Amino acid sequence: MVEPVRIEVGLGARAYDILIGPRLLEQAGAEIASRLPGARVAIVTDENVAAAQLPALQGGLEKAGLAACVIVVPAGEQTKSFSQLEHVVDGILAAKLERRDAVIALGGGVVGDLAGFAAGIVRRGMDFIQAPTSLLAQVDSSVGGKTGINSPRGKNLVGVFYQPRLVLADTAALDTLPPREFRAGYAEIAKYGLINRPEFFAWLEANWQDVFCGGAARIEAIAQSCRAKAEVVARDEFETGDRALLNLGHTFGHALEAAVGYDGARLVHGEAVAIGMALAHRFSARMNLASPDDATRVEKHLRDVGLPWRLADVPGGLPDAEALLAFIAQDKKVSRGALTFILTHGIGKAFIAKDVPASEVLSFLRENRTG
């Protein structure tokens, strides 16, 4: 058995480990039992992941003598809803689980956000375990305690910060991902290089094909991403400071997701972030904050790995620039009506830009929507 990479998220008494490596679902029971002795668990998963990964997790729990109930939800971004939150909460309560019992999120970011929100509110907070099975979830959404659901008015507008007790990133689970889902997760890996790790971004430019193939390069890319996020979360758990840098590409990206009605057939989260990162770099160049060469470099890398990078890449078209700006204005990163973006002075030089003029954003969207 390969020894997993272990990364600590340093939050004092609430610190927790991220374990990264193959076949961790089969070891889940031992890892959970050592941290939560005597706990019973509820596994929250979606229909697709249940077929591919649930047997391995159940087998791992059974080996450690952990009793588990299973709550299955539909796959897709639209599952992050009030109705599915009610379904999960009711399932946990129907199983008569107690506060010291645990909820395990087995799946991608949708399941992690939904199950984590439920764990945070049932009995005013139960223990929570993340078992992310998508690349995007392993490098981003499973780490840091953001949970929540969507509203018709915008993405992730309802939720709580609620940290897990453990993250089990089983890299073998990624072998079953469709290529599109893997590429979407890779966008979040690239993001860490673009924020403040230019050497990592250069490494990705040289090694992305090995990351896609699996093995040591994939584990290294995931570990580097988790270290980057863990460091930021330890400094700024509730996103009152530089944790906002992790939203590079997300203000544009969330607006695009809302504009397509969270239709995963047209656009998944990582694809929206990829377009958002390209737009953030291009907008930074337009505002004379960074060189256009940096924007071109970002766009080339996204294009090389097969990710969308411009508004024209969204299938089915988009609403007009005014409607896109309205979605941006609804974003959580708006403060008292002022537009806040993560912009950049170059590769690895992201910064928080407050009071960005709406008129500049609108002109930029008009140009890029048609160009």
The residues carrying an active-site annotation are: 124, 146, 188, 229, 239, 243, 247, 250, 254, 269
d(CA 299, CA 288): 18
Q: Are 330 and 177 in contact (CB under 8 A)?
A: no
Q: Are 135 and 182 in contact (CB under 8 A)?
A: yes
d(CA 121, CA 117): 6
Q: Are 341 and 353 in contact (CB under 8 A)?
A: yes
Question: CB atoms < 10 A from the CB of 90, how many?
Answer: 13
Whose CA is closest to 306, among 233, 226, 208, 225? 208
DSSP β-ladder status, 166-170 and 127-132 = parallel
Rounded to the nearest 5 percent, the helix, strand and coil shares of the chain are 55, 20, 30
> How does 353-362 read in b/e, with b if 16+ C-beta sit within 10 Å?
beebeeeebe
**Which long-range contacts link 118-123 to residues 24+ away (Cβ below 8 Å)?**
118/44, 118/85, 118/88, 118/89, 118/92, 119/147, 119/162, 120/147, 120/160, 120/162, 121/89, 121/160, 122/89, 122/92, 122/93, 122/97, 123/98, 123/99
d(CA 308, CA 249): 13
